[in-house]
Each structure stands twice: as C-alpha cells, then as structure tokens.
Amino acid sequence: MKKLGIGLIGSGFMGRAHALAFRTDGGVFELPATVELEMLADHSAEAASRAAQALGFKRSTSDWQALIDDPAVDIVAITTPNILHKPMAMAAIAAGKAVYCEKPLAVTADDARELTEAAERAGVVNLVGFNYLKNPMIELAREIVQSGEIGEITGFRGIHAEDFMANPNAPYNWRCDPAQAGGALADIGSHIISLARYLVGDIDAVCGQLATVHKQRPLPDGSGVKPVSIDDEAQFLVRFANGATGSISTSWIASGRKMQLDFELYGTKGSLAFTQERFNELKLYRSVQAKGREGYTLITAGPDHPPYGAFCPAPGHQIGFNDLKVIEVKALIDAVCGHGQAYPDFHEAWQVEKVAEAVKLSAHEGRWASVEQH
C-alpha cells in the first residue's frame, strides 16, 4: 500500500486538529494509503520539537521550507496565521506537494486567485479547511436541496457568531491586523459564506455594513494600546445566481455565543433549519402537513447519514468537531491517491474570499457590489 508522508506547519489549535485527524483516519476509514507523520515545523526549534513529540511526528524543524523540500513529505498541511498561507502554499506547489491549508486561503482574493491558478497549472491536489461542510447533516441538507424535496430555494438566512473577542481588554493579535486578513468577516464569516454557497450556490451581489466596536486593544506586553480598524461585526444582504435572496451576519463579540453557526433555508415546498451548537441535528419542514400537525421534523444523525456510521453504529450518540476533520482528511487522502476530487479546494476558497471583499467594498461605498468584480 502507498505511504503518504505528512508535513505539518503550525501546532496551535488547528495544527493539533490536523494531527489528530491524520493519526485517527486509518482507524476509522479504509484508506487507499497509509499515513506517516513525518515532520512538524513551528516558529522555534524548541516549540517544534515539543509539539512533534506530543503529536507523534518523527522529526521537527523551525524551517518550514526545509519541511516542504523534504523528500519524505508528500502532503503539506498549513495551520499558521493567514499572512503565511500564500508563501507556504506557493512553495509547496512549486515542490509538487499536495497542499492542505486552513481558511481563509489568503489575505486577499487576488492572492487566492494566484494560488488557485498556480495549483491548477501544477496539477497538485489542494484542499482548504472548511471542515463544517463535512458534517453528515450538512451533506443531508445539500441532498434535500438538490433533490427538490423542499422545492425551489427562495431564501437563506445565516449567522456565525462567537464571543472570543467580546472582552474589550482582549489583547491585540494578528486577527486584529488588516494586513493579515483580520476581522470577523474574513475569520469566522468565511464559514457561513462557504455554507451558503455549498447549499444554495453562487452569490452574485451583496450589500453590507461593517462595524468596529472596540476601536483599540491593549498590546500583549502591556506597554500601551493599539488602534483597531478591522470589523468586529458584519451584516450583508445577498443575491444568489439562482434568484434566491438572503442575509448573512457574523460577529466575534456576540457575548454568550460560543459557536453559533446557524442557517435557515427556505423553499417553495418546505425549509431547513440548523445550528452548529447542536450539529448532530437537522430540522426539516414540509409545507404539506395535516392540519394541526404542522411543524418541523427533527432528524438526528445516525448510520443512515454517511459517514456517521464509520464512527458509531447507533444513531443519536453524536460525532464531534475533530471527527469532521477526520472526514475532511479522508477526502484529501482519497484525492491524493486518485480517488475523487478534494473539496472545498483553492478555487472554492477563492470564491468565498471574493464574496468577503465585495462585502467590504459595499460597506465602504454604501451600495450593492458585484462579487464577480473581485
């Protein structure tokens, strides 16, 4: 069986999630290749060595280029701050390696386009970490939409709200830097944009507003404060290519919300409702119901919703966040071995960033903005 060597750059929260997924995948799924955790790179030799030992990698380095150039590394996983995604991914593409990059793919839509075109020219497998799309309940929602079960889609209402930046005394970090694709829209808003596109389709135009609530934050070393210009909140109207309309909002200062990635999707024959905080459930409404019996049907995830059954043989026992990464990694390994196409890829991530940039332009100029201009 073919062996695939994994090189991981970054060992924070997402780096650990990637490492756990690569370690777990072969125990959950039948894979066309075996996975070897070859090398981990981090900002210092000490940090890299410590993380490699904890996460099960054979070797470590403080030089990410050395990781990419290593002949034993076949897949480069990038979980660094956003500003480093492009140079690292470009280097991996140039080396002919498969690239697995966290979202957002790049700081700007133009950078995402360049990465997409480079990957397509090189013919390398590429995947971007929008792992919420891998939820069996989201796959079911997409199946219901595409089958026509709830009719023609007329509307979408989505939100991604968390509160990890709600405290005005939370220190300034790279997420606050516009040069690093900072802001709630680019950071967590990309997830609800990706869900909207996955379920409804292309977005043609947007009309948005952005708000900076905390206009300064303390420096991490306590030496003072630094002005903040990125958005803490964003709201925008959307027009889809298929004629549906909707609204999307995102906030990282939504006090009390830990992971509100929600949507309601309306059709001429019914609707769907979902919340990430109960992501093993999907609510389905059918318009034709007996009088006095109208209401949503609660669908609970189970083995009838692949690949849930690979994790648990019984419904209602639930899968978790890291399991979505395991599903995502399986799609990557299959694609690297020539079995299917990795999705969402760089091209899809570019489309998501085009929507975000159109929202920013709309908010700045106070008008509807076309997504295709980006």
Please name the residues in contact with 32: beta carbons below 8 A apart, sequence gap of 6 or more.
1, 2, 333, 334, 337, 339
Provide the whole-model pTM: 0.95
Where do the structural domains in the chain lie, given as residue ranges? 2-131, 133-319+341-365
In this predicted structure, the answer to whether residue 374 has a pLDDT above a threshold of 70 is no
Q: What pLDDT is attached to residue 26?
A: 96
pLDDT tens by residue, 330-358: 999 999 999 999 999 999 999 999 999 99
Fold of 133-319+341-365: Dihydrodipicolinate Reductase; domain 2 (3.30.360)
Residue 307, preceding peptide bond in cis (omega within 30° of 0): yes
pLDDT tens by residue, 47-75: 999 999 999 999 999 999 999 999 999 99
Q: How many CA atoms lie within 13 A of 46 on its CB side?
A: 0
pLDDT tens by residue, 87-144: 999 999 999 999 999 999 999 999 999 999 999 999 999 999 999 999 999 999 999 9
pLDDT tens by residue, 4-31: 999 999 999 999 999 999 999 999 999 9
Give how far Cα 271 sits from Cα of 116, 144, 235, 289, 302, Å. 34, 10, 22, 13, 21
* DSSP one-letter string for 186-241: HHTHHHHHHHHHHHT--EEEEEEEEE----EEE-TTSS-EEE--S-SEEEEEEEET
CB 330 within 8 A of CB 69: no
In this predicted structure, the answer to whether residue 180 has a pLDDT above a threshold of 90 is no
Can you name the residues that pair with 35 across neighbouring β-strands? 4
Architecture field, domain 2-131:
3-Layer(aba) Sandwich (3.40)
